[in-house]
């Protein structure tokens, strides 16, 4: 059996989201064998890396980047500007009052200069702005602190600052639910505006937090084609396939109580992953990276989301790091 990176060497790098704890023992072995791109799962986000105005916490990211360089693995940077995991100090002055537009832009620039500057030449693609578009309501822009204080130009400014700090890195806008018709249209409008203004943006990240019920092949293909029609590359930045029916849960407003991983779920998941990778290969001219969000079913962010303490099984490797049925469907084509 080829490994993932071998099977896809003529298509795109295969990535994985990591924390420092994944870089030793059997998980490190699995990462080195199977993957040729990594993304720090949390350590580069504003809160973790810039906890106070004059203090940066580089240790975790330095370790991840060093591991990647030592093993010939590319690094995706995640992320420079997001409404989540951003420390409170960023938006307030010493007296606790909300800062002005000018102050916030200066902070954003300083942050991006420092982070993108430190890893200049070592990050091949950056998620510059993450999740700026809302899921519901009639607004094009999510009402984040960045939007409220700066206005819509915080997005183009973030891209400009990132490009100035690392002119060689590919710059991405990254979001989830990108196959939902309403949200897809909004993201398309946003990206179109940025392109029309000449903002240095090279691609769009489809996070790919999917389930064995979603998206359908036509829904996914529509997203890839629409975004690619703007001259943008596509990266699948945070792929996982939950075994639970997310849309159904959202509609019912209650979680299913299933927690056993059945053979039926395993089979459906294998079929779903096969469909996804068939699609990515079909669009290899525009799909330039596919990254899984976590290493194996032993531990994934979905174990606590959307239902606390409900185990999920969304990845290609099981809780003992062994390949699942879905793995074989992905590497044999």
User: What are the residue numbers of the active site?
Assistant: 238
Exposure string for 130-163, b = 16+ CB within 10 A, e = fewer: bbbbbeeeeeebbebbbbebbeeebbbbbbbbbb
CB of 304 to ligand G3I, least distance (A): 8
> Residue 103, Cβ neighbours under 10 Å: how many?
14
Q: How far apart are the first and last CA of the chain?
A: 11
Q: Indicate which single residue of 301, 307, 311, 321 sits in contact with ligand G3I (rule: CB under 6 A).
A: 301
Q: How many residues lie near ligand G3I (CB under 6 A)? A: 9
Q: Which is nearer to ligand G3I, 131 or 166 (CB)?
A: 131
Interface positions, 235-264, toward ligand G3I (CB under 6 A): 238
Give dist(CA 112, CA 233) in Å, integer.
22
Q: Indicate which single residue of 24, 59, 69, 85 sits in contact with ligand G3I (rule: CB under 6 A).
A: 85
Interface positions, 142-171, toward ligand G3I (CB under 6 A): none
Question: For the range 58-64, what are the long-range contacts, defined as Cβ-Cβ under 8 Å and sequence gap of 24 or more?
Answer: 58/118, 60/19, 60/20, 61/119, 63/20, 63/23, 64/18, 64/20, 64/23, 64/38, 64/40
Q: Is 84 in the site for ligand G3I (CB under 6 A)?
A: yes
Q: Which is nearer to ligand G3I, 299 or 328 (CB)?
A: 299
CB of 156 to ligand G3I, least distance (A): 21
CB of 209 to ligand G3I, least distance (A): 6
CB of 93 to ligand G3I, least distance (A): 26
Residue nearest to ligand G3I (CB): 301
Give dist(CA 220, CA 216) in Å, integer.
6
Q: Which is nearer to ligand G3I, 10 or 136 (CB)?
A: 136
Residue 36's nearest CA partner among 62, 12, 58, 56 is 12
CB of 100 to ligand G3I, least distance (A): 27
Give dist(CA 245, CA 243) in Å, integer.
7
CB of 95 to ligand G3I, least distance (A): 28
Residue 318's nearest CA partner among 327, 310, 309 is 327
Q: Which is nearer to ligand G3I, 21 or 195 (CB)?
A: 21
Q: Which is nearer to ligand G3I, 197 or 250 (CB)?
A: 250
Distances in whole angstroms, Cα of residue 209 to Cα of each of 212, 297, 306, 313? 11, 15, 12, 13
Q: Is 59 in the site for ligand G3I (CB under 6 A)?
A: no
Q: Indicate which single residue of 11, 28, 32, 42 sits in contact with ligand G3I (rule: CB under 6 A).
A: 42
Residue 233's nearest CA partner among 164, 299, 288 is 288
Interface positions, 115-144, toward ligand G3I (CB under 6 A): 130
Distance of CA 161 to the CA centre of its chain: 20
Q: Is 41 in the site for ligand G3I (CB under 6 A)?
A: yes
Q: Which is nearer to ligand G3I, 42 or 180 (CB)?
A: 42
Q: Which is nearer to ligand G3I, 201 or 239 (CB)?
A: 239
Residue ranges with strand state E in the chain: 14-18, 37-40, 74-81, 125-130, 170-175, 203-206, 209-211, 233-242, 287-292
Is 1:328 a contact under the CB 8 Å cutoff? yes
Q: Which residue reads 């997001």 in tokens? A: 82
Interface positions, 181-200, toward ligand G3I (CB under 6 A): none
CB of 85 to ligand G3I, least distance (A): 5
Q: Kindly state the helix (H) or strand (E) to which residue 313 belongs, with its residue range.
A: none
Q: Indicate which single residue of 207, 269, 288, 291 sits in contact with ligand G3I (rule: CB under 6 A).
A: 207
| Contact residues: ligand G3I, CB under 6 A | 41-42, 84-85, 130, 176, 207, 238, 301
């Amino acid at each position: 059996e080829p490994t993932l990176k071998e099977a896809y060497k003529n298509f795109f790098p295969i990535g994985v989201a990591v924390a420092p704890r994944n870089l030793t023992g059997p998980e490190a072995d699995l990462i080195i064998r199977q993957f040729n791109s990594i993304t720090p799962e949390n350590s580069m986000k504003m809160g973790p890396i810039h906890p106070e105005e004059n203090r940066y916490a580089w240790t975790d990211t330095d370790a991840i980047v060093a591991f990647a360089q030592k093993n010939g693995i590319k690094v995706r940077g995640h992320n420079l500007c997001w409404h989540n995991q951003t420390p409170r100090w960023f938006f307030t002055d010493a007296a606790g009052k909300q800062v002005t537009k000018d102050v916030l832009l200066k902070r954003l620039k300083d942050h991006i200069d420092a982070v993108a500057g430190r890893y200049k030449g070592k990050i091949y693609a950056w998620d510059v702005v993450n999740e700026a578009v809302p899921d519901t309501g009639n607004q094009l822009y999510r009402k984040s602190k960045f939007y409220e204080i700066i206005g819509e130009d915080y997005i183009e400014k973030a891209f400009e600052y990132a490009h100035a700090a690392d002119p060689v890195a590919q710059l991405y806008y990254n979001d989830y639910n990108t196959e939902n018709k309403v949200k897809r249209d909004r993201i398309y409008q946003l990206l179109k505006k940025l392109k029309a203004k000449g903002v240095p943006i090279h691609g769009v990240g489809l996070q790919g937090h999917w389930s064995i019920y979603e998206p359908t092949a036509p829904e996914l293909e529509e997203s890839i084609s629409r975004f690619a029609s703007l001259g943008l590359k596509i990266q699948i930045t945070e792929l996982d396939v939950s075994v639970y029916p997310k849309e159904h849960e959202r509609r019912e407003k209650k979680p299913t109580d299933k927690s056993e991983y059945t053979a039926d779920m395993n089979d459906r998941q294998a079929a779903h992953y096969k469909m996804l990778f068939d699609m990515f290969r079909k669009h290899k001219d525009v799909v330039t990276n596919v990254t899984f969000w976590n290493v194996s079913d032993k531990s994934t962010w979905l174990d606590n989301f959307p239902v606390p303490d409900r185990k999920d099984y969304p990845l290609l490797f099981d809780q003992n790091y062994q390949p699942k049925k879905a793995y074989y469907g992905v590497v044999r084509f």
